[in-house]
Copies of this chain bind each other. A is one copy, B any other.
């Protein structure tokens, strides 16, 4: 039985806590958050606290809070020979200033509290500073996911950047598609099968091979037509991404 304290109650902390509750080999012995509101609903299932001085003894401490608060919270966990990890994509393992060992437990997924997630397929990127800790994190990760990877801090920073392109920026392009639809009385849901197929294709083709469209085939007539109707606030993005696709495919 691995004893766990979870620190934080944001989207990642919330879903991690729920996932670990379901695991028979993990005991979430405590959840900390600076305000009580976000953790009050957990009081029937585990100890809760808003005071870092009351943190109990456990094997692993998972800090899942805003990036800039991680060092401060870690520094207040004055245990020895325990493992303190954070869950952030772009924060080095070295930012964890602690008297215990340190590591990273980064679930690479987009979380909203209102949307259930299936943790078993979520990649968990782990990092530790010795073999024993790596094994411990590996065991912990495998309790909730079948998709565990050892990724160092430098790679994780790059992976987080890649995630910004493929998640944050992609979602913003969805928003632009939605705006164009709404401005023309077209239901946005018409685009959903296309959007899903664009993602699903990646099981069969890599995105470089999967590229289609007027920029890829250098169809200047269609590109001109689009430039005439593209809304002002999207024109620069249309031009820049078109140019980038043309360059990529040597047009």
Contacts and interface: CB of A to CB of B under 8 A. Distances in A.
A132 interface: no
B175 A248 contact: yes
A2 interface: no
A155 interface: yes
Given A165-B177, A204-B114, A240 B234 contact: no
A112 B206 CA distance: 12
A149 interface: yes
A58 interface: no
Given A110-B212, A175-B211, A222 B192 contact: no
A155 to B, nearest CB: 5
Interface of A: 11, 67-68, 90, 108-110, 112, 114-115, 117, 121-123, 125, 147, 149, 151, 154-155, 157-178, 180-181, 183-188, 190-208, 210-216, 219, 221-222, 225-226, 229-230, 233-234, 236-238, 240-241, 244-245, 247-248
A114 B209 CA distance: 11
Given A109-B197, A157-B229, A208-B178, A173 B171 contact: no
B161 A201 contact: no
Given A159-B181, A166-B173, A237-B241, 6 more contacts: A90-B226, A115-B205, A158-B181, A159-B190, A164-B213, A175-B248
